[in-house]
Amino acid sequence: MPHIFIPREIREGETRVAAVPETVQRLTRDGFEVTVERGAGAGAMISDEALEKAGARLSDDAAVYTEADIVLKLHPPTLEEAAQLKEGGVLVSHLWPFANKALCEKLMERRITVFAMDQIPRTTRAQYMDALSSQMNIAGYKAVIMAAERLPKVVPLMMTAAGTINPAKVVVMGAGVAGLQAIGTAKRLGAAVEATDVRPEVKGQVESLGGKFIEPPGAAVGEGGYAAEQSDEFLAQQKETVRKHLIAADVVITTARIPGRKAPLLVSEDVVREMRRGSVIVDLAAEEGGNCELCEAGKIVERHGVTIIGTSNIPGTVPTDASAVYAKNVYNVVKQLYPKEAELNLDFADEINDGAVILHDGGCRAEKVREAHGFRPPIRE
């Protein structure tokens, strides 16, 4: 019977957890032994008793790392945590391999098979495992709520005896998962919404949610459906195209993130200076350097009369639901790796395993990561 361990996330300020009672119950039903570190679900309002009732064994510390065949996490392990993993075991978590060379080396040294939640292919079949999408969906929703709270005016159109209050104008930059959720949420609150994206094919999705699409100066679609890194000339044209819309906005929500790279700069200080006093910018790329030039990661600041929200880990501000959907993503990954009778089946002919299993058998399977860090391939597959 494979042994699964879910530790408490130790990153400062993290409230989420990789398992909830529902997924613990499913895992035990599927034939896994499940251990959860005490207090792991506290930030998400999940009690130890609820996890224990669902079938988990509780541990007082992270010593179970050394016993577990499978470890389920949210964030990449620290080097200290990686050193405790059972040699030859399985880790399911985010990895961010391009930014974590030393961690990858430690994991390869211990011959850990790593299914990286941040490297899952953007395909229809993989959607139910796609943690980046599930967490950004929540971030897009919460960004609008945070903006509305800071905005010194109401969001919807209001007809009053004293006159009409016009709706707030919201501009969403980026119509990916977070952006589309932000558009939908802002419309439900009654805002007048515009959106821009470097991919003209998303126009229909924006308009289906009630937003007006700001046409880009061209197209820049990258591998796997992500936005590609754009040239300076393209970005300059895009900025000029949307500048007048940003200056007229009450709320700007930026969502442009490129996996493994610094976020593109979309809102310059010059634009912020021209925006109306009291306007709000929510930068969902704050942790990657920010789309707004004046954004400060982890802080809410006021510059030129504009409030700029650079809050880190926005999904973690809604930990109950963020944990629930992430835990389901992870459960689906476990079922992908252990399709029946709790037996590991690493079928690399499967596009999901091929794309997301980055480290295996003492080496690195991802060619781009190998080239970036000079890693060796696995000993065998």
- pLDDT tens digit sequence for 339-378: 887 789 899 999 999 999 999 999 999 999 999 999 999 9
Structural contact between residues 13 and 77, judged by C-beta atoms closer than 8 angstroms: no
Q: Can you tell me the mean pLDDT for 254-264?
A: 84
pLDDT of residue 381: 62
122 assigned to active site: yes
Task: Judge if pTM exceeds 0.95.
Answer: no
Q: Which of 110, 122, 188, 243 is catalytic?
A: 122
Given pLDDT bands bounded at 50, 70 and 90, which one contains residue 316? very high
CA distance 280 to 148: 9
Residue appearing with tokens 């400060």: 296
Q: Can you tell me the mean pLDDT for 334-343?
A: 87
- pLDDT tens digit sequence for 22-64: 999 999 999 999 999 999 999 999 999 999 999 999 999 777 8
Structure tokens, 79: 């080097």
Q: Which of 11, 29, 47, 127 is catalytic?
A: 127
Q: Which of 226, 303, 350, 361 is catalytic?
A: 226
Q: Can you tell me the mean pLDDT for 320-344?
A: 93
127 assigned to active site: yes
Q: Which of 59, 84, 119, 133 is catalytic?
A: 133
CA distance 313 to 75: 12
CATH number for domain 3-119+319-373, candidates 1.10.340.30, 1.10.357.10, 3.30.420.240, 3.40.50.720:
3.40.50.720
What fold is seen in the domain 140-311? Rossmann fold (3.40.50)
- The least confident of 14-28, 194-208, 301-315 is 194-208
The DSSP element (H or E) to which 8 belongs, if any, is none
- What's the chain's average pLDDT? 92
Outline where DSSP puts E strands in 276-361.
Answer: 280-283, 300-303, 306-309, 357-360
Would you kindly state where each structural domain of the chain is located, as residue ranges? 3-119+319-373, 140-311
130 assigned to active site: yes
Q: What is the DSSP string of 217-245?
A: SS--B-GGGSBPPPPHHHHHHHHHHHHHH
CA distance 290 to 310: 8
Structural contact between residues 116 and 94, judged by C-beta atoms closer than 8 angstroms: yes
Given pLDDT bands bounded at 50, 70 and 90, which one contains residue 215? confident
Position 226 pLDDT exceeds 60? no
Q: Which of 93, 130, 199, 250 is catalytic?
A: 130
